[in-house]
Structure 1
Amino acid sequence: MKLKDFDFRVWNNGKYHYPIKINNDIVDINLSMGINDEIELFTGLYDKNGKKIYVGDILKYTRWCEQYMEDAEYSETIYEIVCFDIKLGLYSKLLNGECGWFFEHFINDKNKTVEEMEIIGNIHENKELLK
């Protein structure tokens, strides 16, 4: 990963702020960062709408279930992105508390899009989605 591709967001007491800016390979640091700030890294992946996926995002996975043609329906699952590893990918937690790594078949290698998944919020502004 190159410095220009490195991206993250920072939260302090539930408020989003920008303590560090990277422009043309120059790093500008705002020294007002607090010890309670939470840094959430960009995973390098995008949701189905092209939005960047960060650690702490809440994703909705929607798929069409075709077990029986007359009973075809949509199925939705909510995931919280817990952490990210360059080799392993996204580590997520389901509403029921189960955790695990996303499987490779969810990720489009050409454009780094997580197919059929959409960001619906994050753990700071939308905690109610995880209940």
Structure 2
Amino acid sequence: MKLAKFDFRIWDKGEETLTYASKDWKLGINFSNPQQDNGEVESVLHAYYDGEPMCPDDCEIELWTGLVDVNGVKLYDGDIFIVFGDEKYKAVCNIMKFYGKPLFERNVELPLSIIKSKEWKLEVIGNIHENAELLKESK
């Protein structure tokens, strides 16, 4: 993914809202170095709204994976989606890996390379914040 296509969203725990950077130009993220200990600097990623820092305990930064579903909806970290292929899976997107749970079987990990293949298609059906009930096992 090119940097020009980079996108993210913020889940505000207090307000219980998702704000998308692609839809609100006042939203931004930036690295800061709040502590320096023994010459070691630890960078922390912070969210900002209209130039003001958002409390890191009150928000979660969720990055776009670079994938879009069959309907053109972007797949973000924390999204719940269904993968269609030889089998059908319901999964939660984790930014580095896709952890999947088949609808009727055991837990399984779905690597990004499988989902990118032409045989597999995905559809975003919600996210862990607004639609947590989707994670319950289907009968």
Q: TM-score, normalised by structure 2?
A: 0.61
Q: CA RMSD in A?
A: 2.9
- In the other structure, the counterpart of 1:16 is 18
> 1:15-55 deviations in whole A, cap 9, x for unaligned?
11255259xxxxxx521512221000000111122211101
Structure 2 counterpart of 1:59, one-letter code: F
Structure 1 unmatched runs, 5+: 23-28, 66-74, 85-89
- In the other structure, the counterpart of 2:36 is none
- SS of 2:133's equivalent in the other structure is helix
- In the other structure, the counterpart of 1:33 is 54
CA drift at 1:4: 2.0
**Residue 52 of structure 1: which of 54, 58, 74 is its match?**
74
The 3 A distance-change label for structure 1 pair 98 and 43 is same
The 3 A distance-change label for structure 1 pair 3 and 62 is closer
Larger RCO, structures 1/2 (Cα 8 Å, 6+ apart): 1
Structure 2 counterpart of 1:127, one-letter code: A
- SS of 1:58's equivalent in the other structure is strand
Structure 2 counterpart of 1:38, one-letter code: E
Q: TM-score, normalised by structure 1?
A: 0.64
Q: Identity across aligned pairs (percent)?
A: 36
- In the other structure, the counterpart of 1:120 is 125
Question: How many residues are matched?
Answer: 106
